[in-house]
Amino acid sequence: MSALTKVMVVFVVVLSVLLVALVIPFVANTENYKQDLVTAEKRADVAEELAKLQASEVQAAQEKVSILITNLEADKQGLRRELSTAQEQLRNERSVLQSQRSEVSKLQADASQDSAALKQMTQILDTLQSELARRRTEMLDNQTRSIQLADRNNELESQIETYERQIRRFKEQMTELQEDRIALERKLQQVPSDILQQIEGESGSTTTDYELTQRVAGSITGIESFGGDTFVMIDVGANDQVTPNVSFLIHRGDDFLGRMVVTTVDANESAGRVMLLQGDIQVGDSVLTGGY
């Protein structure tokens, strides 16, 4: 046998030994590989299911994240709009604040002017109050003088009225005296001279009408004519100090109508004869005497 053949035989034997050494672990590993393959497939199935579940969860999470992102974007836009609005409001507020500051400055300036004007007005008011007090004192003095003058004027008017009544009465008395004198002269012309001389030589008392020292006023309550004479009744009597022969002047307002002389007196009424008649007397006409 040649050396090459021996080498080849040795090589084949060694190779066989090596193959056996390799086949035995390979076979053993092959049985384990099958089992591992089945286990791996099961694990792969479980992993695939888990992957599907995870993919589903991931997709749901992505959808949630997408919705969240959409909402966040919307909120972001809303916040941007709110920020823009807030910035605009801030600018407006700053503008209003600036305007208000300007207004405050103006008001402060006006307040200063008003304060100065108020101070001036206070001084003027004090002056006016002093002037008013002085004028009030003068007014009170003038009112006092006015009252005094009014009282004096009333007194003078009363005196003038009294004087006018006296003058009117004097005129009436003069008229009466003149008429009485004329009537007496006519009667005396009719009396015989011897009887007239006899009357002049006799002395004695005669009854004449007279005036009261105080004023008595009344009115006519009745009128009667008898024997050519006119008699009137008046509403004053003895209680008013009226006595026979008292003379009353008859008036209607400011018109003098005549004169009467009392002949009969009662407590509250009197009656007398009209001695002088210068107008148409009526019930209600006034009668006056005395106190002038």
* Residue 146: predicted pLDDT: 78
- Domains defined along the chain, listed by start: 1-161 (no CATH), 210-292 (2.40.10.340)
Residue 259, C-beta contacts closer than 8 angstroms, at least 6 positions apart? 172, 176, 247, 248, 249, 250, 274, 275, 276
The total of other beta-carbon atoms located within 10 Å of residue 260's CB is 28
CA 178, distance to chain mean position in Å, is 72
The total of other beta-carbon atoms located within 10 Å of residue 18's CB is 10
* Residue 40: predicted pLDDT: 73
**What pTM, to 2 d.p., does this model score?**
0.33
Instruction: Indicate the helix (H) or strand (E) that contains 94.
Output: helix 3-190
* Residue 222: predicted pLDDT: 95
Rounded to whole angstroms, the Cα distance separating 147 from 170 reads: 34
Report whether 276 contacts 240 (CB < 8 A).
no
Would you state the structure tokens that stand for residue 189, as one six-digit string? 């012309």
Would you state the structure tokens that stand for residue 36, as one six-digit string? 């591992």
In order along its 292 residues, the chain shows pLDDT tens digits of 567 777 777 777 777 777 777 766 666 666 666 676 777 778 778 777 877 787 787 777 778 877 877 887 888 788 788 888 888 888 888 888 888 888 888 888 887 887 887 888 888 888 888 888 888 888 888 888 878 878 888 887 877 787 677 667 666 666 665 565 555 555 555 555 555 455 444 433 344 455 566 788 999 999 998 878 899 999 999 998 899 999 999 999 888 888 899 999 999 999 999 988 888 899 999 999 854 4
